Structure 1
Amino acid sequence: MSVRILVSDPLPEGAVAILRGTPGITVEERRGLSEPELLPLVADIDAWVVRGATKVTRRLIEAAPKLRWVARAGAGIDNIDAAAARERGILVLNVPGANAVAVAELVFGLLLALFRQIPAADASLKRGEWAKARFQGRELRGKTIGILGLGKIGRAVAQRARAFEMRCVGHDPLLSEEATRALGVEPLPMKELLPRSEILTLHVPLSPETRGMIGAGEIARLPRGAVIVNAARGGLVDEAAVLEALERGHLSGAVFDVFAQEPPGGSPLVQRENVVATPHIGAATQEAQEAVGEEIVTLLLGKLRESGAIGESGPRTATPSRNPAHKKISR
């Protein structure tokens, strides 16, 4: 009997082709559907591939009696009711770090935009102005960057920070001091990292333990004039506390790619001149999406083979990737 896989968010054509080219699998692509629209579709599926748009709710999980695997093409799984999945014995798969280069590059793109006032300078020039004297900026060189989370993305950030001749301090409870120092990062506990961090960047998953991990108290411990970067998950940072610290000058700026509520609507934080923000585009590069797509379907097929749901024969149409973004960055 064929294994039925629902793909309810956009995946690269190559990733879908790998699934379709695998004997014993039937793939249905249905994108942009609401929960009521998804309910009849999940009744007979064995596996489900999503990105961030589809919400895999408890109601949908309960309506899918055959569902055994949910594969998230990306890192965060906050759009999946993981508790409901666990109760059913459903395996939730994800590929943290497949988009590491894309996110790390965006971090520095946002920082350079903030430090050199690039958005404002560009808008000024487009208005026909030549306000050169108005746009005196700052350099990244010599600044101390505090990195919370030294998984694949945090490591990619540290690597690029060193290229900018920045000092790197970091905190990751899952990494030994020796391993942290091998990355060119000085290991510090949180209470010591915050006062050292002229730039604080977060690269941790969103969980009950990390939600709101940077609030008013943590911001107060940063040096005056510090900058906060959140290109990880919305909800890690108390955005109201950031706004208050910007208004009183304790923070000199902030950059956000993710928000507790997306889209953030008319958030006063986004409107500030000393905030550079983007609409959750950290992983939105062609290279990253190809890497994420290929890695998640490869992982899913491996689990299907391990379970005996499909045979050992490989995909009929898969070809090795030549994408440099697919190179593994070891944790």
Structure 2
Amino acid sequence: MKVLVTPTSLSRTPEDPALRRIREAGADVVLNPHGRPLSEAELIALIADVDGVVAGLDDYTARVIAAAPRLTVISRYGVGTDRVDLEAARAAGVVVTNAPGANSQSVAELTVGLMFAVARRIPRLDAAVAAGDWPRADGVELGGRRLGVIGLGEIGRQVARAGAGLGMEVHGCDPALDDDRIRELGIVPGSVDEVCRRADVLSLHVPLTPRTRHLVDARRLDLLPDGAIVVNTARGGLLDEQAAHAALEEGRLHGVAVDAYETEPPRESPLIGHPRVVATPHTGAHTAEAVHRMAQAAVGNLLDVLQGRDCRHRVV
């Protein structure tokens, strides 16, 4: 039995206790040799005789799945499954699992940190002081402003609670929750458009699907109050990066923070390098605590499937 492990944070620690669990189960472990998400061709070269994968941010396309006749399970190291062709997996009889909740605290904390970083221009001020300058900046306070949260799963709820703790009025929406349940969470319910109209700070926490691609596009950016902040720590593609750049150039946004991009690494993104953008390298889940939880959950799911047990986090 052979298992491919591709998450970069896990591949750097070959003696991680979660990886030892795989070896103790009698499997050979193959680690990502490149230190970054693998391309389709790189995956195809590694996956031919693999029985299971602990999957990072690589794209598991139909071609990749077809190149792996022994593949039984793709165990996502995190919650999102948008990088796995679920229909191809289903057709091939490959089980896909995820690890919901394992990185919720980590992503929520980064989201709040990015709100402050944009609101107070923290990265640019730090760089200026390091260069010997002593600038002043036009920061804004978060307390007393309205926070809009699109997607009220575990991460969105934690961000909402943090916003309320800062004295923000929280508005939100989630198709899985009715208005009464949203009110029970202390959040003012509304449609996506209504949340955008109210949000001085807009934070995205939904999966990427064909319906949510460019969920926040030029039209919805126009709905935001002048001087709004947009934060995307969920999935690249939710925010139309070209439209966000145009809104920044026109002075309609105070700033944008992004941790996930339409293409990664984001070499072609118009947002990178803009003076009112704070950009991080898809690092929401990269804390020691989240890495441990995700590794244990993903390996547990993998072994459940490979050893014939029921897996409660099965997606396909």
Give 2:114's aligned residue: 110
Choose from 272, 275, 278 the match for 1:276: 278
1:191-210 → structure 2 map (5 Å cutoff): 191-210=193-212
1:83 deviates by: 2.2
Give yes or no for the alignment of 1:238 onto 2:243. Answer: no
1:212-231 → structure 2 map (5 Å cutoff): 212-231=214-233
* Aligned partner letter, 2:65: I
Distance 1:34 1:244 in 2: 31
Give 2:20's aligned residue: 17
Choose from 48, 51, 65 the match for 1:46: 51
Choose from 83, 94, 104 the match for 2:98: 94
Give 1:28's aligned residue: 29
Structure 1 residues 39 and 192 mapped into 2: Cα distance closer, same or farther (>3 Å)? Answer: closer
Give yes or no for the alignment of 1:211 onto 2:213. Answer: yes
Give 1:81's aligned residue: 85
SS in 2 for 1:289: helix
Distance 1:233 1:18 in 2: 30
Distance 1:55 1:166 in 2: 38
* Aligned partner letter, 2:52: A
Distance 2:297 2:142 in 1: 34
Distance 2:273 2:46 in 1: 41
Q: Deviations over 1:29-70 (max 9, x none)?
A: 231365555446433332211111x33232221122222211
* Aligned partner letter, 1:119: P
Give 1:160's aligned residue: 162
Between 1:287-296 and 1:257-266, the stretch displaced more is 257-266
The TM-score normalised by the length of structure 1 is: 0.85
1:263-302 → structure 2 map (5 Å cutoff): 263-265=265-267, 267-302=269-304
Distance 2:42 2:173 in 1: 43
Q: Deviations over 1:136-192 (max 9, x none)?
A: 421110111110000111011112111211111100010122322222211112232
* Aligned partner letter, 2:112: F
SS in 2 for 1:261: coil
SS in 2 for 1:271: coil
Stretches of structure 1 lacking an aligned partner (at least 5 in a row): 309-331
Distance 2:183 2:100 in 1: 22
Give yes or no for the alignment of 1:69 onto 2:73. Answer: yes
Distance 1:265 1:189 in 2: 33
Between 1:54-63 and 1:113-122, the stretch displaced more is 54-63
Which protein shows a greater Rg? 1
SS in 2 for 1:138: coil
The TM-score normalised by the length of structure 2 is: 0.88
SS in 2 for 1:161: helix
Structure 1 residues 301 and 166 mapped into 2: Cα distance closer, same or farther (>3 Å)? Answer: same
SS in 1 for 2:226: coil
* Aligned partner letter, 2:71: L
Q: Deviations over 1:300-325 (max 9, x none)?
A: 223344459xxxxxxxxxxxxxxxxx
SS in 2 for 1:269: coil
Stretches of structure 2 lacking an aligned partner (at least 5 in a row): 311-316
SS in 2 for 1:242: helix
Count of aligned pairs between the two proteins: 301
